[in-house]
């Protein structure tokens, strides 16, 4: 997304937090954590598709690996780094071990980020050819990894031939592929009631709707011919080897009027159900992931009806932005109650059996390492939290080595080249990187500096991903919160549940040692699935399980009869 859009989304986040989520935490303001709701328990995921127990990795192709010295990452470069992500051998654990990649836009586009597509059938020449893309899918599949791609269909680029044709005349056959009117009705950007940015833009004597900016006209998905074209394109890319799509700006798809008609409309939900049914028919286990950047109750509606289709008949995964916000707030406040309260709220609000998609940050957010002030203990907490939560976690490339934001204030600073090593070109290119490395790439925040270091953040991510994948309970199970959801909670404790299996997870989110428990859970023996150095033995006292954890440490135990 372009710079303007990011600022707007940040504004949106602030607005939703202030306007509709008064319980949202703000460590800087010292406000108390949110009140507890009903003690909602998160149910195990329904459905058995691969993506319901996967760990995803978000890749910005332009910044991952350059293969031809032009300073821009590309598909052959990404292929050459697949073994880093998953070597296809479950016996080895010196790879990251992720199950799937989400590629930010790879279609032809005039911008560096690609969110303004000008050809939905062609690969961006900076990234390579269709043959390169098909080879990427084959090479990923050979290693047991899936590939999903950004499918940006709320809007196209202003240079897309569809829009050029549509704008040419009111009688154009593509006129109704976009949203035209005779005048500017003065709609606001729906995420910012104080916005003065126009959403209707003048062109050839008329006005078109472009909610983000004039360079990205909104497609008019109420037009049947366009709906069919989008379904055809989805089928085309599924046939070319992709395993699903990430859906940009999903809640803004179909607008029916100004104000409340600009987001979350019934028509939008109906189209996503239509597309989901189409995709299920073409490739039954393909996944759709929604970017519905909103509050927990609104995100919950994008799963659709869980009666007929396990996990919901609309979007099977939706990013959990509010949980990300509470994780970061809780870690920065050394207070797990922020996170516990959000988990309890999710349990009460999300339909039973859905698959959450937790994230720490993505390409539109200041990187997690920066948001956590570079604090090593908090970064260690964040990794352990993300990889012990229910659902399908998404890592953003570079998070695993503690990559920080770049020093500029634009969106590019969230998307800087991957630091493979500490040399000036970072192992990323033999030429000049398209954008500078983030600070720290030469002083420890690189793959080379961390790969053989047992206590490194990269080693921690590798270990925790493998622990998660080795446990059906951790990957597919439900969750019940054990720690406090109000006041001050130095640790986040929860039990993951699947059938008769119970896995106890405790994260100490302070710098000091804490004694945790007693937890009144069944079992007489505890099998260690993961313990940080110094974690005391989990013991069974008469009133329950208890242990002592050093600062920032995590313990994961399977409770046995």
Binding site for Ca ion (CB under 5 A): 66, 68, 70, 72, 74, 87, 89, 92, 95, 154, 218, 252
Tell me phi and psi for residue 269, to 5 degrees.
-60, -40
Q: How far is CA 112 from CA 413, 428, 464, in A?
A: 13, 17, 33
Distance of closest approach, residue 188 Cβ to Ca ion, in angstroms:
14
| Inter-helix orientation angle 321-332/3-19, to 10° | 80
178 forms beta bridges with 219
Please state whether beta strands 206-209 and 514-519 pair in parallel, antiparallel, or not at all (unpaired). Answer: unpaired
Judged by beta carbon, residue 271 or residue 350, the one nearer Ca ion is 271
Q: How far apart are CA 523 and CA 502, in angstroms?
A: 9
Q: Rounded to the nearest whole angstrom, what is the least distance from the CB of residue 357 to Ca ion in the complex?
A: 22
CB of 390 to Ca ion, least distance (A): 24
- The packing angle between helices 376-386 and 321-332, to 10°, is 150
CB of 253 to Ca ion, least distance (A): 5
Closer to Ca ion by CB, 68 or 515: give it. Answer: 68
| Residue whose CB is less far from Ca ion, 222 or 231 | 222
Residues designated as active site: 248, 291
| Residue with token string 């037009």 | 223
E-assigned strand segments in 92-199: 100-103, 107-108, 119-123, 146-151, 180-181
- Whether 119 and 226 have beta carbons less than 8 Å apart is answered as no
By beta-carbon proximity to Ca ion, the closer residue of 209 and 545 is 209
In angstroms, the CA 487 to CA 492 distance is: 13
For residue 90, the minimal CB distance to Ca ion (Å) is 6
CA 232/CA 130 separation, integer angstroms: 17
> Can you tell me the distance from the alpha carbon of 41 to that of 482, in angstroms, rounded to the nearest whole number?
10
Give CA–CA dist 250/252, Å, rounded.
6
Closer to Ca ion by CB, 160 or 496: give it: 160
Could you tell me the smallest distance in angstroms from the CB atom of residue 1 to Ca ion? 14
Whichever of 268 and 438 has its CB closer to Ca ion, that residue is: 268
- CB nearer Ca ion, residue 275 or residue 329: 275
Q: How far apart are CA 514 and CA 536, in angstroms?
A: 10
> Could you tell me whether strands 146-151 and 100-103 are parallel, antiparallel, or unpaired per DSSP bridges?
parallel
Q: Which segments of 240-311 does DSSP mark as H helices, in order?
A: 266-282, 296-301
CB of 427 to Ca ion, least distance (A): 14
Beta-carbon contacts of residue 97 (< 8 Å; ≥ 6 apart): 55, 86, 462, 465, 466, 469
């Amino acid at each position: 997304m372009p710079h303007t859009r990011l600022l707007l989304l940040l504004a949106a986040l602030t607005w939703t937090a202030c306007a509709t989520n008064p319980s949202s935490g703000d460590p800087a303001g010292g406000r108390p954590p949110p009140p507890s709701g009903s003690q909602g328990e998160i149910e195990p995921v329904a459905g058995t598709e691969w993506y319901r127990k996967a760990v995803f990795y978000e890749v910005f192709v332009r910044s991952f690996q350059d293969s031809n010295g032009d300073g821009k990452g590309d598909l052959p470069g990404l292929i050459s780094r697949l073994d880093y992500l998953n070597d296809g051998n479950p016996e080895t654990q010196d790879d990251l071990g992720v199950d799937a990649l989400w590629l930010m836009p790879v279609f032809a586009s005039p911008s560096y980020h690609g969110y303004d597509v000008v050809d939905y059938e062609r690969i961006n020449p900076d990234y390579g050819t269709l043959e390169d893309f098909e080879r990427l899918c084959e090479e990923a599949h050979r290693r047991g990894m899936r590939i999903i791609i950004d499918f940006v269909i709320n809007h196209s680029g202003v240079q897309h031939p569809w829009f050029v044709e549509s704008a040419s005349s009111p009688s154009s056959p593509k006129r109704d592929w976009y949203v035209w009117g005779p005048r500017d009705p003065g709609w606001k950007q729906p995420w910012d009631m104080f916005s003065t940015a126009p959403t209707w833009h003048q062109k050839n004597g008329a006005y078109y709707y472009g909610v983000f900016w004039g360079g990205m006209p909104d497609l008019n998905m109420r037009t049947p011919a366009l709906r069919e074209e989008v379904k055809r394109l989805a089928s085309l890319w599924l046939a070319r080897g992709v395993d699903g799509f990430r859906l940009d700006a999903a809640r803004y798809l179909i607008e029916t009027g100004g104000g409340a008609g600009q987001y979350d409309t019934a028509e939008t939900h109906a189209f996503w159900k239509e597309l989901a049914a189409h995709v299920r028919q073409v490739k039954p286990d393909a996944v759709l992931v929604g970017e519905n950047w909103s509050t927990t109750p609104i995100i919950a509606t994008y799963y659709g009806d869980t009666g007929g289709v396990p996990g919901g008949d609309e979007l099977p995964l939706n990013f959990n932005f509010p949980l990300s916000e509470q994780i970061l707030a809780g870690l920065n406040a050394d207070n797990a109650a922020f996170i516990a309260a959000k988990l309890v709220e999710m349990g009460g609000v999300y339909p039973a059996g859905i698959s959450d998609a937790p994230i720490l940050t993505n390409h539109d957010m200041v990187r997690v390492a920066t948001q956590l002030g570079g604090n090593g203990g908090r970064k260690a907490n964040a990794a352990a939290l993300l990889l012990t939560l229910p659902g399908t976690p998404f890592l953003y490339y570079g998070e695993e080595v503690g990559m920080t934001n770049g020093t500029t204030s634009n969106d590019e600073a969230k998307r800087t080249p991957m630091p493979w090593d500490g040399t000036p070109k970072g192992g990323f290119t033999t030429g000049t990187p398209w954008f500078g490395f983030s600070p720290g790439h030469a002083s420890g925040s690189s793959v080379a500096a961390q790969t053989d270091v047992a206590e490194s953040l990269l080693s921690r991510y590798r270990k925790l991903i493998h622990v998660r994948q080795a446990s059906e309970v951790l990957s597919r199970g439900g969750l019940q919160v054990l720690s406090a959801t109000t006041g001050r909670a130095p640790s986040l404790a929860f039990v993951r549940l699947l059938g008769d299996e119970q896995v106890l997870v405790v994260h100490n989110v302070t710098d000091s040692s804490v004694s945790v428990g007693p937890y009144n859970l069944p079992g007489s023996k505890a099998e260690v699935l993961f313990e940080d150095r110094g974690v005391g033995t989990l013991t069974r006292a008469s009133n329950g399980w208890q242990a002592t954890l050093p600062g920032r440490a995590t313990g994961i135990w399977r409770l046995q009869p």
